[in-house]
Amino acid sequence: MSQTDARAYSLGQKIQGYVALTKPRVMELLLVSTVPVMILAKDGAPFTWSDVGLILATVFGGAMSAGSAASFNMYLDRDIDVHMKRTKNRPLVTGEVSPRGALVFSWVLAVVSTAWLWWTTNWLAATLSAVAIFFYVVIYTMILKRRTEQNIIWGGIAGCFPVLIGWTAVTGSLAWPPMVLFVLVFLWTPAHYWPLSMKYKDDYDDVDVPMLGVTRSPSQVGLQVILYAWATVACSLLLIPVAGMGLVYTVSALVFGGWFIYESHRLYNRAVHHNEPRPMRVFHASITYLTLIFFAVAVDPLLPF
C-alpha cells in the first residue's frame, strides 16, 4: 500500500473530495447557459413563483447530471491523472475518494438526476440529461479522448445539452432558438479548450492523449482557434432573426464577439512570430465571452427594446 493510500482523511476532507469529483468550475460554466435559455423560452411572459421553482429544480437536476458525468470522467481517467501535473491533486489520485466510492457516487448522481428532472420538469428534459451523461462518459471519455485529436470537437457536444434541457424544461419541446445556442456552444468548445491543451501540452503528451496542442504546432492550433472563434460569433448572430433578439443582445454579440475574435488572432500572431502564445489568455477570455453572451440572452427578453 502506498503512502497516499495509507493516509487517513477526515470526514470533511472526504466530503470535499466527493464535491471535487463533480468539477464545480465546469459545472458552473454548464449551468450558466441553462437559466438564460429558460428565461428566453418564457418569451417575455411574467415570471411566477412556479417559474422560479422550475428554474431551481432544473438547475439542481442539471448540477447533479453534470456532476455525474464529471465524476465518471475522473473515475475512468484516474490512470492518467496520476501522471499529469494539472490533475495530480484530484481526489482519486490523492486517495481522498476510493475508485469504488467514486463509481457508486457517479451512478447515484446519474440515476437521481434523471429521476429528479423527470419528476420536476418532464420526460424530454430528463432524457436529454441522460443522453448528455452518456455522451460525455462513453463517446468522449471512453472512445474519443485517447484516440483522436478531434476528441474535444465531438466530445464537447455533451456540454451543449444544458441549453436544450433548459428550454425543454419550460416548453416540453424543442425549437430553433435552443438549437442555435446548441451549435454556438458546440463551435465555442474547441476555441475554448484548445488553448488549454497548448498550456498543458507536455502533460497530455506524457500520457499519450492526442489533444490538438500535442499533435499540431502552436501556429496551427492558433489558426484553428481563429476559425472556430469566427464560426462561434457568426452563429451567435443567427439568434437575432431566429429568436427575435433585441438591441441588448445584438450589441453584446457584436462587441463581445469582436473581443473574442481579437484574442484568438492575438494568440495566432504570437505563435507565428515565435513569441510565447499565452494561451490561457484566450482560455479565460472564452469563458468570459460565453458568460456575457448568455447574460445578454437572459436580459434581452426582459427589456422592451
* Confidence at residue 6, expressed as pLDDT on a 0 to 100 scale: 42
* pLDDT < 70 regions, the chain: 1-7
pLDDT score at 46: 73
* Span 260-275, pLDDT tens digits: 999 999 999 999 988 8
Domain boundaries, the chain: 12-172, 175-305
So what's the pLDDT on residue 7? 65
Closest CA to 239 of 184, 283, 202: 184
| pTM confidence score | 0.93
The predicted pLDDT at position 186 comes to 97
Instruction: Please give the pLDDT value at position 290.
Output: 97
If you classify domain 12-172 with CATH, what class do you get? mainly alpha
pLDDT of residue 94: 93
Structure confidence at residue 8 (pLDDT): 75
Q: Which three cell numbers stand for residue 111?
A: 440515476
Q: State the pLDDT at residue 1.
A: 35
- From the candidate CATH numbers 3.20.20.220, 1.20.120.1780, 3.40.190.10, 3.30.300.130, the one assigned to the domain spanning 175-305: 1.20.120.1780
